[in-house]
Amino acid sequence: MEDIQAILLGLIQGLTEFLPVSSSGHLILVPILFDYQDQGLAMDAILHLATLLAIIIFFRRELWQLLCAMFDKKNQPARHRVAWGIIVATVPAGVVGLSLGDWIEANLRSPVFVGTNLIFWSFVFWWADRGAARTDGGEAELNGMSFKQILLIGCAQAVALFPGTSRSGITIAAGLFMNLSQPAAARFAFLLGTPAILAAGLHKTVSVITQPEEALIFTSGQMAMAFSISFLSGYLAIKILLTVVSRVGLIPFVIYRLLLGGFILAIY
């Protein structure tokens, strides 16, 4: 049974971490729907690190360019601004996570809250998507972002800590509200999310190290299997999101969220 749970958790984490359908919402629902016990901190850390590796490999060129530009303001002023903007824009999510993370875990991980949040943000995503431009301005569009635009999108990312929201969904929507095209908003959502996913993975890893008394539910082999599945499905999810958003926008994900939210509320 643990083998099936590990496979399912890896698949759900990989797909929903990047698709705008709420990974936290799905990971909360899996133990409830299938009567599994909570996966524990160790598995949480493994799954986050797997999706982090997927995003680093997929965007390795862009991430390397931004890393180099952080220390080269003279020759790359625009990219330098964007690189440091991403770092600063990650702070709001960190502050909310550190100050409200435990409260959110204790009070907002109910199916009713997840279902309601899925539906509420679906309408916000639809609103953001309906007038968005699909023509990609390419790298010039991202390099032309102002510090204010980046910071506001970073503030929106902090809201994703509430289960049922979706980090990728709300950052893409915020980008669209900031007049980015759909392709550019999707790509920037991934770049902005990299430090946040890294911080979440490190935080969970530290929690595992500092709480060695926590019982391990899965074997090392099962966690390796979950890691591999999460990485591969996460890499695939990035390609799916970039393709779908560029061609048809967020509407397919909005429909899925509405159906899932309605299903959850109908059951609970």
Q: What is the pLDDT of residues 147-188, one digit of tens each?
A: 889 999 999 999 998 999 999 999 999 999 988 988 899 999
Residues of the chain falling short of pLDDT 70: 1, 24-25, 27-28, 37-40, 133-138, 212-216
**SS3 labels along the chain:** CHHHHHHHHHHHHHHHHHCCCCHHHHHHHHHHHCCCCCCHHHHHHHHHHHHHHHHHHHCHHHHHHHHHHCCCCCCCHHHHHHHHHHHHHCHHHHHHHHHHHHHHHHHCCCHHHHHHHHHHHHHHHHHHHHCCCCCCCHHHHHHCCCHHHHHHHHHHHHHCCCCCCCHHHHHHHHHHHCCCCHHHHHHHHHHHHHHHHHHHHHHHHHHHHHCCCCCCCCCHHHHHHHHHHHHHHHHHHHHHHHHHHHHCCCHHHHHHHHHHHHHHHHHC
pTM: 0.91
List the one residue out of 173, 186, 180, 170 whose CA is nearest residue 92: 170
pLDDT given at position 38: 67
Q: How many Cα neighbours within 13 Å face the side chain of 149?
A: 20
Tell which residue, 117, 118, 128, 120, has the closest CA to residue 153: 128
Looking at residue 215, what is its pLDDT? 56
List pLDDT tens digits, range 186-212: 999 999 999 988 887 887 777 777 776
